[in-house]
Amino acid sequence: MAAPGLAIDFALAGVAVGSAAALSGVGLVVCYRLTGVLNLAQGGIAVFTAYLLRELAVVRGWPLWLAAAVCLLLVAPGLGVLLQFGVFGPLRRRAAGVGELVVASVGVLVLLIGLVAAMWGTAPLADVPSLVPVRTFTLPGGRLLRLDTVAQLGAVLVVACAVWAVGRFTRFGVRSRAVADDPALAELAGVNAEAVGAVGWAFGALTAGLVGVLLAPLVLLDPYGLPLLVLETLAVAVAARFHSLPVAVAAGLALGIVQAELAWLHPSGTLMPVVDAGQSNLFAVALLVAALVPWGEAEQGLVGGGALLAGPAAPRHRDGWAPLLCAVVLLTPLALRGGGVRALLTVPGIALVLLSVVLVTGSGGLVSLAQGAFAGLGALGTAQLVSGQVPGGAALVVAVLGLAAAGVLVGWPVVHRRGLVLAMVTFALAVGLSRFVFQQPYATAGLTGARPSFLHSDRALYAAELAVLAAGALLVAAVRRGRLGRALLATRDHEAGAWAAGVAVPRLKLLVFVLGAALAGAGGVLLAMAGGAFDPATFDPVQGLVWFATVVVTGVDSAAGAVLAPFVLVALDSATVPGMSAVVVGALATATGHLPGGLTGWARSRLGAWS
């Protein structure tokens, strides 16, 4: 093992990443406090700013200070203000819930990543200039200290202290806290909530840009890696409970330092793979731990910020034409000749995952961002069973039952959470599953194809998938109708009222969560069979967010929308370029402020206007 003095060197190296994480956490906390929005788009803004800085300073040859000033003081805050007035202001005005705000910020994230990829390509870049010259000092005792590390640490402390002082001692601070508590009431007290929100977004975007510019020289810059890195700093904001700046700074720095120390420790023997996995995914571990530790009183303030998906309950609709339309659209490919069916094999699987979101979030009111991960578990389970010579049909049954059991296990601690906290816990689960199961060789090594042998023709497989989808859709319809459906609606719309009316709320929520997990798992099974193998990228947490966004965009209450949407998205991807569907969903998601009830809500109001 290396000399103990090296521990200090590694700690100093960890401060660089740690201070970027702390800065990102401070930005997330302040933005949440002033706007009520958890800014999942932070990584998108970061990567956009980093690319822009490189474009101006390296490609166009601007002086670095000028390029940095334009990027950080002009473009990033301007982007933030644009987001407030174009995307999040309208959502706030109609008191949108956590789910819609999450979806809108996912939309912004996806759009910005798409924009960066379209403008600058996806090839990794190593020539992003560092804002602070790479120079080292020698400390007394012979330690080397990098100037940029000192500058980053200084920036974090200055920003955090400035934010604290403004909140504590200025009139703007009191007014912004009033907006954080209750925007409508703050307006009545003469506070311009839109302007405060714009300041919050400008600050959030500025810190995001700064994080991007600071991190970019430390990593290879590409459109996907940096946003994920920044997304992981969510752990810092969750640890701070979206409230405490000192905790955010301390957590960010601590995580950076611990990560560096773990790299130094590098124990040999059986512990090594565990430590290695923990070290490279430390922020994911921290996110999971921070989200699962009881939130206590911190949860109250967050739940007050809008627990439900949508504000006032939408009227229930019975669209008689919807099931017929779904059946016609889904059955049509069977009548087609040629390889058309092959491209659509993933449609029923995705449809089942989306249906599970409709059930859990639309009917149950639980904002679960883990449905994609449950699908991943189903897919992985199937791939393993089939590799172990278990027939495909049996694998489906075993995987679905296993997922239901997992739903009970996971659901029990989860269903007592609400609103943003529930969203965070489930997202942390999705990240954890992706990093520690789907991407680990112990789970995925040696898997053979998952496709059952008796379904070798695409047409037969598609027909079998449709049968499973139909069973899932019938299950959702059965749950949403009748006594159970009424109890669910009552719980979603007024939990205390449902308790008072004799609904066993936790048991009901657990039931919905378990059914949702099983449905998503079944979807995963179909996706594994359709793809012929297990692909971890399909069940990435960001892909899960995009699926969730798809459901909200099409109408979270609409089962028909959930069945038809994947058809359109898969067709779009195969007709243009892969990833196009995500960009379209992202674009629609940023417009949720203008589309209450999603696309189906809009369609219904149009149809209503005609009739």
Partner 1 sequence: MTTPLRLALRGVTVRRGPVVRLAGVDIRCPADRLGFLIGRNGSGRTAVLEALAGLVPHHDGTVLLDGRDIGSLAPHRRAALGVVLVPARRAVFPTLTVAETLALAGRPPQPILDVFPELAPLLPRRATALSGGQQQLLALARALLTEPVVLLLDEPDRGLAPSVTARLHEQLAGRTALLTARTLPSWAPSSALVHVLERGRVVWHGEAGELRAASRF
Q: Site residues (CB under 8 A) for partner 1?
A: 171, 174-175, 177-178, 180-182, 184-194, 301, 304
Q: Least distance (Å) from partner 1 to the CB of residue 182?
A: 6
Residue 69, number of CB atoms within 10 A of its CB: 13
First to last CA, the chain: 78
Among residues 89 and 340, whose Cβ is nearest to partner 1? 89
* Rounded-to-integer distance, Cα 253 and Cα 153, Å: 9
Among residues 195 and 327, whose Cβ is nearest to partner 1? 195
* Rounded-to-integer distance, Cα 20 and Cα 161, Å: 16
SS3 assignment, position 460 = helix
DSSP, residue by residue, 361-422: IIIT----S-HHHHHHHHHHHHHHHHHTT--HHHHHHHHHHHHHHHHHHHHHHHTT--HHHH
In the beta sheet, which residues pair with residue 145?
A: 137
Among residues 10 and 172, whose Cβ is nearest to partner 1? 172
* Rounded-to-integer distance, Cα 573 and Cα 582, Å: 9
Among residues 60 and 171, whose Cβ is nearest to partner 1? 171
SS (H, E, C) 546-591: HHHHHHHHHCCCCHHHHHHHHHHHHHHHHHCCCCHHHHHHHHHHHC
Q: Least distance (Å) from partner 1 to the CB of residue 184?
A: 7
**Amino acid, single-letter form, for residue 123:** A
Contact present, 567 and 360 (Cβ < 8 Å): no
> 395: closest CA among 452, 449, 463?
452
* Rounded-to-integer distance, Cα 47 and Cα 60, Å: 18
Q: Least distance (Å) from partner 1 to the CB of residue 191?
A: 6
Among residues 5 and 311, whose Cβ is nearest to partner 1? 311
Q: Least distance (Å) from partner 1 to the CB of residue 332?
A: 36
Q: Least distance (Å) from partner 1 to the CB of residue 592?
A: 18
Q: Least distance (Å) from partner 1 to the CB of residue 221?
A: 39
In the beta sheet, which residues pair with residue 144?
A: 138
Among residues 198 and 542, whose Cβ is nearest to partner 1? 198
Q: Least distance (Å) from partner 1 to the CB of residue 177?
A: 6
Give the CA distances from residue 472 to residues 359, 408, 466, 485, 523, in Å, rounded to whole numbers and listed in that order: 11, 19, 10, 16, 9
Q: Least distance (Å) from partner 1 to the CB of residue 179?
A: 9
Q: Least distance (Å) from partner 1 to the CB of residue 31?
A: 17
**CB < 8 Å & 24+ apart, contacts of 117-122:** 117/223, 117/579, 119/51, 120/51, 120/55, 120/223, 122/222, 122/223, 122/224
Q: Least distance (Å) from partner 1 to the CB of residue 319?
A: 18
* Rounded-to-integer distance, Cα 445 and Cα 463, Å: 30
Among residues 174 and 409, whose Cβ is nearest to partner 1? 174
Among residues 190 and 269, whose Cβ is nearest to partner 1? 190
Among residues 178 and 498, whose Cβ is nearest to partner 1? 178
Q: Least distance (Å) from partner 1 to the CB of residue 301?
A: 7
Among residues 458 and 495, whose Cβ is nearest to partner 1? 495
Token reading at 484:
């159970």
Token reading at 212:
């991007």
Q: Least distance (Å) from partner 1 to the CB of residue 372?
A: 34
Token reading at 390:
């278990």
Among residues 314 and 545, whose Cβ is nearest to partner 1? 314
Q: How many CA atoms lie within 13 A of 142 on its CB side?
A: 2
Among residues 161 and 184, whose Cβ is nearest to partner 1? 184
- CB proximity list for 579: less than 8 A, separation 6 or greater: 114, 117, 573
Find the helix or strand (DSSP H, E) in which 159 lies: helix 147-169
Among residues 189 and 478, whose Cβ is nearest to partner 1? 189
In the beta sheet, which residues pair with residue 146?
A: 136
Contact present, 308 and 365 (Cβ < 8 Å): yes
Q: Least distance (Å) from partner 1 to the CB of residue 98?
A: 18
